[in-house]
A = this chain, B = another copy of it.
């Protein structure tokens, strides 16, 4: 259950775009510098986001990238889906397409419940929420439990 580097970088880049939201676009290298991301790797990720309709790009003199929609209308899940495919998958396929037999039959509902849980978090948090440091109450309630911060 790991968040890939692509997903983490993509969300951070999107947050940077959501923050510096004035008329002028932001250069890829500026984002890479601010967030400490390999800038050539980041270019490929921004390209995916452009093809997915999340950002707009501008070439030339002082071009760069900017969000295609308002930060309130882009969820963290949207960003992850664009660069990484399905939010949560088992062995590369989405839960409803799996089939289990014997004593593992109830494993499918478990994965589905897990996915629903992850969706509740990531679909319900927008870039604006994170950038303004004001997470929804369902999320902040979890972070206030000190046990959430201990390792295993």
Residues of chain A having any CB pair with chain B under 8 Å: 1-5, 7-8, 11-12, 15-16, 18-19, 34-36, 76, 80-81, 84, 86-92, 94, 96, 100-107, 109-122, 125, 129-133, 135, 139-140, 142-143, 145, 147-152
Contacts and interface: CB of A to CB of B under 8 A. Distances in A.
B3 A111 contact: yes
6 contacts: A2-B92, A15-B104, A15-B107, A35-B102, A109-B139, A113-B140
Given A106-B135, A109-B135, A117-B117, 8 more contacts: A109-B143, A110-B130, A112-B142, A116-B143, A116-B145, A116-B148, A117-B120, A117-B121
Contacts of A96: 149-151
A80 B94 CA distance: 18
Nearest to A87: B1
A19 B105 contact: no
